């Protein structure tokens, strides 16, 4: 069984050796020039006008995590779609339960304000109820 992996391991080893060799030759033969101007960060060919490490609201990261969670449902729906005819009605209802649970999670997220990126509304601020789990 392990013998069938030898070609893959050989190609992986060869790729690593070639990559290290290219980087090593470049380091040895290349000119080492630089300085303060070369090491300054640029964006799209323009010097930065502002500092590069700005504070970003946690809401953007929470939306990204929510996107990943709800995007994973597609990874589960594609295999089910391929075998739907062989699975019959039991598989169909299993998929419908899965989709229902995803929609419930989406509704809870929407109700809690997890999709709102703007400042909290006055009504939500007065209610005192936490908007997200991170506000607890």
Q: Are 81 and 75 in contact (CB under 8 A)?
A: no
Residue 53, domain member (yes or no): no
More confident residue, 31 or 121: 31
pLDDT value at residue 122: 63
Same domain, 33 and 66: no
Residue 110, domain member (yes or no): yes
Q: What band does 136 get if pLDDT is binned at 50, 70 and 90?
A: very low
Residue 108, domain member (yes or no): yes
Same domain, 39 and 13: yes
- Domain containing 86 equals 58-135
Pick from 131, 77, 122, 82: nearest CA to 103: 77
Instruction: State the Cα–Cα distance between residues 79 and 87, nearest whole angstrom.
Output: 11
pTM of the model: 0.46
Q: Is the pLDDT of residue 132 over 80?
A: no
Residue 99, domain member (yes or no): yes
pLDDT value at residue 125: 55
pLDDT value at residue 24: 94
Find how far residue 132's CA is from the centre of its chain: 20
Pick from 118, 115, 128: nearest CA to 62: 115
Q: Count of domains in the chain? A: 2
Give me the sign of the Cα torsion angle 53, 54, 55, 57.
negative
Q: Are 114 and 62 in contact (CB under 8 A)?
A: yes
Same domain, 31 and 91: no
Residue 10, domain member (yes or no): yes
Give me the sign of the Cα torsion angle 11, 13, 19, 21.
negative
Same domain, 67 and 120: yes
Same domain, 7 and 64: no
Report pLDDT digits (tens) over 66-101: 888 878 888 888 888 888 889 889 999 999 999 999
Same domain, 125 and 68: yes
Q: What band does 120 get if pLDDT is binned at 50, 70 and 90?
A: low
């Amino acid at each position: 069984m392990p013998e069938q992996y030898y070609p893959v391991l050989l190609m992986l080893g060869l790729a690593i050796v070639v990559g290290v060799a290219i980087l090593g030759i470049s380091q040895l033969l290349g000119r080492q020039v630089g300085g303060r101007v070369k090491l300054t960060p640029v964006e799209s060919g323009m010097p930065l006008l502002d500092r590069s490490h700005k504070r970003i609201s946690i809401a953007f990261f929470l939306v990204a995590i929510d996107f990943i969670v709800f995007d994973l449902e597609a990874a589960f729906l594609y295999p089910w779609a391929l075998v739907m005819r062989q699975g019959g009605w039991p598989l169909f209802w299993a998929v419908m339960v899965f989709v229902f649970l995803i929609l419930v999670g989406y509704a809870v997220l929407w109700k809690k304000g997890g999709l709102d990126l703007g400042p909290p509304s006055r009504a939500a601020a007065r209610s005192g109820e936490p908007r997200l789990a991170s506000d607890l």
